[in-house]
Homo-oligomer: A and B are copies of this chain.
Amino acid sequence: MSGPSDPREPRLRQSPEFDLIGAIRERLASTLASSARRSSIRIGIGDDAAVVVPGAVTATSVDAIVDGVHFRSSWCPPRSVGRKALGAALSDLAAMGAAPGEAYVWLGAPPELSEASCLELCDGIAELAEQTGVAVLGGDLTAAGALSVCVTAVGHAGSESELVGRDGAEAGFALCVTGELGGAAAGLMLLEHPELRKEVGEPIAREAIRRQLEPEPRLASGRALAAAGASAMIDVSDGLGADAGQLAAASGLGVEIDLEKVPLAAGVREVAAASGRDHHELAAGGGEDYELLCAVPRSTLAECEGAVARSGSTLTEIGRFVAGGSVRLRLSGGRSLPPAGHDHRRAR
């Protein structure tokens, strides 16, 4: 792996644009062959626009990550930058229950980015695209002040009723979450304070860091939840409190979360202890876990749990939607945490 500012690497500025673009295209061509919608792709990378035969309805989302805001290139290797950017965009499709189809990528390259790092970043995108059956069909490469990747992801469905929006909760519905939370926040803490790694131990540290660097979009769980009766859904990107608040607000409701019920990812307790933080705070405030948070009518709760289990994950009831507009993060003994998530516009 080459770092983004290894002085021995050829610089992006030194080679003619079309050669580098040719090499990038080669890196991404593999995603055409492994695409789940291969037969519907008419024109891929290299024309003015990509041409596709879409499903009956499409779901489209945009997500961007920027060096110094969403990651630091000092601790995020180019391959992880690519995976993280695509993963965040696909996570939005997971939260709709859409089948992922195509991705379009803009890469903003700072002058110090080497060609090798640029291609490694594309390899990271291609790797996750292949795993998820997504075809990367176009994009743009320009100079930029800081390394930036903007991904537009397009998903498909056979009908509008297959998809789940954010509004659709009712008072009394269960608030449920897939998988475990806090891992990405714990990983971030370990990346920014490497001295904590020794305290928590290498296997735990590596797992938490993986959650931060290479989030996995919960595409199968999202489709399973949509089919099994989840009535509103969002992904956990800004933090449990903030995202649950948005989900509730979209239906004009409030939400109560029992923090003791939130499943904790590996390493969250250890990192919280080593850094003197509350583990509930890491799990509820950190964000970037890219798990799915959903509203489930009581009548379909068992079906949803079973469907998520068959998709390879778990579904845990962690709270309920209530009348009014407040977000309560409850601890035992009547205590509670403030519901703030983090704001991506503020640099870390």
Contacts and interface: CB of A to CB of B under 8 A. Distances in A.
Contacts of A344: 17, 142-143
A75 B221 CA distance: 49
B66 A143 contact: yes
A17 B61 CA distance: 19
A108 B148 contact: yes
A48 B106 contact: no
Contact of A144 (B60, B69, B111, B235): B69
Among A51, A68, A150, A165, max chain B CB count under 10 A is at A150
A218 interface: no
A34 interface: no
Contacts of A42: 57, 160
Contacts of A153: 49
Chain A binding site: helix, strand, loop or mixed by DSSP? strand
B17 A47 contact: no
A234 B47 CA distance: 8
Counting chain B CB atoms within 10 Å of each CB, the highest count among A65, A96, A111, A137 belongs to A96
A298 interface: no
A138 B49 contact: no
Given A60-B154, A105-B62, A234 B48 contact: yes
A334 interface: no
Nearest to A160: B42
Nearest to A137: B60
B49 A96 contact: yes
A63 interface: yes
Given A58-B58, A61-B49, A166-B48, A143 B345 contact: yes
Interface string A74-97: 000000000000000000110110
Given A58-B58, A62-B140, A64-B150, 19 more contacts: A12-B345, A13-B345, A17-B343, A43-B59, A47-B96, A47-B165, A49-B61, A49-B98, A49-B155, A50-B59, A51-B96, A52-B57, A53-B56, A54-B58, A60-B152, A62-B150, A143-B345, A144-B146, A152-B152
